[in-house]
Chain A
Amino acid sequence: KAKQSSLMSFFQKK
């Protein structure tokens, strides 16, 4: 089953 990823794994905190 596909798992929901987090935005934090794509975008860095500024």
Chain B
Amino acid sequence: MFEARLAEGGILKKVLDAIKELLNEASFDCSEAGLQLQAMDNSHVSLVSLNLRAEGFENYRCDRNMSMGMNLASLVKIMKCSANDDVLTIKAQDNADVVTFVFESKNGDRVSDFDMKLMNLDQEHLGIPETDYACVIKMPSNEFAKIVRDLSQFGESIAIACSKQGVKFSSTGDIGTGNIKLAQNSSADSDDKVVVDLQEPVTLTFASRYLNSFAKAAGLSEKVTLSMSPDVPLVVEFKVATSDNDYGYIRYYLAPKIED
């Protein structure tokens, strides 16, 4: 059987907020190592890779590997029935066709449970090669979200140019052009830091719509890491973490726009 107890059930709500725009349904793969999800959006432009480590759960038991196909809109409905600080237990019998979510209030005087039908999803997994990226940018996730939101007003594409000077985000459209430049800084407040690890300068162009969807994960982590190399997909990574627990990560891969 599978049983996983998450002290902060709100974490799963935030994870759902971070993937529900991109995916209608997805398989959660359970193993001894934890819960993993890998799925592409319908148009095969982006991929979500979620890893929640077994160690991040208060209790974690997975007797045999199983894949739980879930409709994410249904899962959102169920998670809406919980409070952010509820303790969440997810459980399923081997070969079951339902998964159960149990919510316990912090003081223990309210317990609710919801069964959700599982789906048979024929999901293809992609092998993602280990890559040394030419540019790795670490920046505050709120800043990333704001930049992407602001520039999306201009055009359907955003160019990200990374060089020794820093990072420049640009977008052009009917109303004009927007450029936002971030210098590397070493401000005393490390939370505001933008750090660039550069092997060679890279400029790539991406669809604004997907970057905006990725930015929905900003609630999971104060930092975001963008990794780029010429002519390969961008990686946008958010740690899934609180001050006292490292749950894992959510990574988004996004295919670049390429000159015709």
Give A9's nearest chain B residue, CB to CB. B255
Q: Which residues of B contact A3 (CB under 8 A)?
A: 257-260
**What is the CA–CA distance of A14 and B129 in the complex, to the nearest angstrom?**
11
Where the two chains meet, the residues of A that have a C-beta atom closer than 8 Å to any C-beta of B are: 1-14
B256: contacting residue among A5, A12, A13, A14, CB under 8 A? A5
Task: Tell me, yes or no, whether B51 is within 8 Å of chain A by CB.
Answer: no
CB distance from B118 to the nearest CB of A (A): 22
Instruction: Tell me the interface secondary structure of chain A in the complex.
Output: mixed
CB distance from B112 to the nearest CB of A (A): 38
Task: Tell me, yes or no, whether B128 is within 8 Å of chain A by CB.
Answer: yes
Where the two chains meet, the residues of B that have a C-beta atom closer than 8 Å to any C-beta of A are: 40, 43-47, 124-129, 157, 205, 207, 232-233, 253, 255-260
Q: Which residues of B contact A9 (CB under 8 A)?
A: 255
B44: contacting residue among A2, A8, A12, A14, CB under 8 A? A8
CB distance from B131 to the nearest CB of A (A): 10
Give A10's nearest chain B residue, CB to CB. B233
A11: contacting residue among B43, B128, B205, B256, CB under 8 A? B128
Q: Which residues of A contact B127 (CB under 8 A)?
A: 11-14
Give B126's nearest chain A residue, CB to CB. A11
A14: contacting residue among B47, B126, B157, CB under 8 A? B126
Q: Which residues of A contact B40 (CB under 8 A)?
A: 7
Q: Which residues of A contact B124 (CB under 8 A)?
A: 13-14
CB distance from A10 to the nearest CB of B (A): 5
**What is the CA–CA distance of A5 and B129 in the complex, to the nearest angstrom?**
18
B257: contacting residue among A2, A7, A13, CB under 8 A? A2
Interface contact B255-A10, CB-CB below 8 Å:
yes
**What is the CA–CA distance of A14 and B40 in the complex, to the nearest angstrom?**
13
